[in-house]
Amino acid sequence: MKILVAVKRVVDYNVKVRPKSDGTDVDIANAKMSINPFCEIAVEEAVRLKEKGVATEVVAVSLGTKQSQEQIRTAMALGADRGILVETDAELQPLGVAKCLNAIIAKESPDLVIMGKQSIDGDNNQTGQMLGALSNLPQGTFASEVAVEDGTVNVTREIDGGLQTVKLNLPAIVTTDLRLNEPRYASLPNIMKAKKKPLDTTTPDELGVDIAPRVQTLKVEPPAERSAGIKVADVAELVDKLKNEAKVI
């Protein structure tokens, strides 16, 4: 079977992002960029399914500027067979991304789509679910375990109270949670090999998709600062402060 994996280029998770002082945008001009951690887990899962003989081909797709090629190459260095870049300089929102991915599903007919549960920049947690709706395919979100068997996939999901398992007919959409797997590191020979793997480029226009944003960001600002606290000398002082100063116990 064929697996489609969606990957996103985001600010590295260790970078503390700040808004620009005029409040128009976040300041990420010189920030280190990486593949979104949840997307990395999605790639790893797809590659593992290939190694188990379940999948025959893994296709990595990304949407964004030309630089998103780097994240597709990363996915190929981790084991994806080929890549597709939907290139655009326009602002992307989950609905537009899901529409582009849906157009790619129509062309590629994958049996399984694996993607991260959320990107760590927008924190939307929407694209996989929206893709499920547009493609009319079932969804297994926040997956911590994925088991493919005879035309179905069992997905164990992380829910608020614990874990839940659902059975989905293939093709299906799966979004990954952190505990699905531990992604491997790309070795230098694999990074070199990835440079030779095919990478096709298309655009939202070529896919016939309107990605015009529906939600406008009016302003970005830093969250309210917490005033500096104090250090206490021992447990007795701590308990005293909590009882008599903060009055929370």
Partner 1 sequence: MSILVIAEHDNASLKGATLNTVAAAKAIGGDIHVLVAGAGCGAVAEAAAQADGVAKVLLADNAAYENQLAENVAALVADLGKEYTHVLASATSNGKNIMPRAAALLDVQAISDIISVESSDTFKRPIYAGNVIATVQSSDAIKVITVRGTAFDAVAAEGGSAAVESIDNAQDAGVSSFVGEELAKSDRPELTAAKIVISGGRGMQNGENFEMLYKVADKLGAAVGASRAAVDAGFVPNDMQVGQTGKIVAPELYIAVGISGAIQHLAGMKDSKVIVAINKDEEAPIFQVADYGLVADLFEAVPELESSI
Q: Report 104-133 residues binding partner 1 (CB under 8 A).
A: 117-118, 120-133
The helix/strand/coil state of 14 is coil
Neighbours of 178 (CB within 10 A): 14
CA angle 207, 213, 217 (to 5 degrees): 150
Nearer CB in complex with partner 1: 83/140: 140
Roughly how many angstroms between the first and final C-alpha of the chain, as a whole number? 58
Query: What is the identity of the amino acid at 139?
Result: Q
Task: State the binding string over 163-202 for partner 1 (x if CB under 8 A, else -).
Answer: xxxxxxx--x----xxx-----------------------
For residue 127, give the DSSP letter.
Answer: H
116, 123 contact by CB (below 8 A): no
Stretch that binds partner 1, among 40-48, 66-74, 83-91, 234-242 (CB under 8 A): 234-242
Q: From the list 22, 160, 188, 244, which residue makes contact with partner 1 (rule: CB under 8 A)? A: 160
Specify whether the CB–CB gap between 101 and 81 falls below 8 A.
no
Shortest distance (Å) from residue 126 CB to partner 1: 4
CB of 188 to partner 1, least distance (A): 27
In the window 130-159, what residues touch partner 1 (CB under 8 A)? 130-134, 137-139, 141-142, 144, 154, 157-159
Task: Report the residue number, 188 or 230, with the smaller CB distance to partner 1.
Answer: 230
Spatial distance between the Cα atoms of 85 and 94, rounded to a whole number of angstroms: 16
The interface with partner 1 within residues 65-104 (CB under 8 A) comprises 93-95, 98
Smallest gap from residue 222 Cβ to partner 1 (A): 7
Among 162, 188, 189, 196, indicate the residue that binds partner 1 (CB under 8 A).
Answer: 162
Does 33 bind partner 1 (CB under 8 A)? Our answer is no
Please tell me whether residue 22 binds partner 1 under the rule CB under 8 A.
no
List of residues 6+ apart from 36 with CB closer than 8 A:
7, 8, 9, 10, 116, 119, 120, 121
Residue 87: its H or E element: strand 82-87
Site residues for partner 1, 34-63, by CB under 8 A, read none
Q: How many residues bind partner 1 (CB under 8 A)?
A: 79
